[in-house]
Amino acid sequence: MNWLLLRGLAREQRHWHEFSQRLVERLPSGRVQPLDVAGTGTERGRHPRPSIEWLARDVARRLPDAGGEGSSSWGVMGISLGGMIALELCRLLPGRITRAVIINSSSRLSGPATRFRPLAAARLAQALVSRDDTRREEIVLELTSRLARDERSRYARLAAEFARDAPMSRASVALQLAAAARFSPPSLATPLLLVCSRRDALVNPRCTRDLAAFYGCGFEEHPDAGHDLPLDDPDWLCEQTLRFEGASKRD
């Protein structure tokens, strides 16, 4: 199985950290392909439009041939904003996207204060205006990760290097945020696994439960991780993904 990975608001593909390699190591075949969303990472020179459909079409345009055993199909995994784009990709490319794992995402099925916890939103705004790259990432990780403080500090320094290497404009952050705020989930027949973190300090886990109820699909909850589940527990997420892949193949 081939897997496309999409990160969330203001995050680029390098923020998958160790997860993508661990997934590669566990896959019996296929490939793992992280792609950046418009405005971030390799695509930082292009402003996004405030539309999840536009962001998904932009990703679809850049989706490589899957290769591997002659298959042209993909599974897609998205976290937060990336999860919204993943759901829209399922609608746009039903023949190529055959399953999806959606992590700590949200939609207009849930209220604004549920989608973005108010205290977290204030802290995130503080981070976005910080001129100190490392301090900004420390604040973000305080909101998104449940790792021990020393581990968060190590990742903050690494993420600050990403920010200096591929800085994202505030305009692009605002446009991505506007796209997320407007997102309503499309009707789909694609097999889905919805995953959330019980201790998510940024987005209430209820948002994932609302999406799972809307789709009537599988749902898993991590008991201890924060919003950045691939960072906090990559092995658990790999296990859930491969179990879902096996189950959806049998179906």
In a domain, 179, yes or no: yes
In a domain, 24, yes or no: yes
In a domain, 121, yes or no: no
Q: Which CATH number do you get for residue 45?
A: 3.40.50.1820
Question: Containing domain of residue 30, as a range?
Answer: 3-115+169-250
What are the tens digits of pLDDT across the range 13-56? Answer: 999 999 999 999 998 888 999 999 999 999 999 999 999 999 99
In a domain, 66, yes or no: yes
In a domain, 156, yes or no: no
DSSP 197: E
Q: Is 78 helix (H, G, I), strand (E, B) or coil?
A: strand
pTM for the model: 0.95
Q: Hey, how many other C-beta atoms are within 10 angstroms of the C-beta on 158?
A: 14
What total number of domains does the chain contain? 1
What are the tens digits of pLDDT across the range 113-158? Answer: 889 888 888 888 888 778 899 999 999 999 999 999 999 999 999 9
Contact 89, 112 (CB under 8 A): no
In a domain, 163, yes or no: no
In a domain, 160, yes or no: no
In a domain, 155, yes or no: no
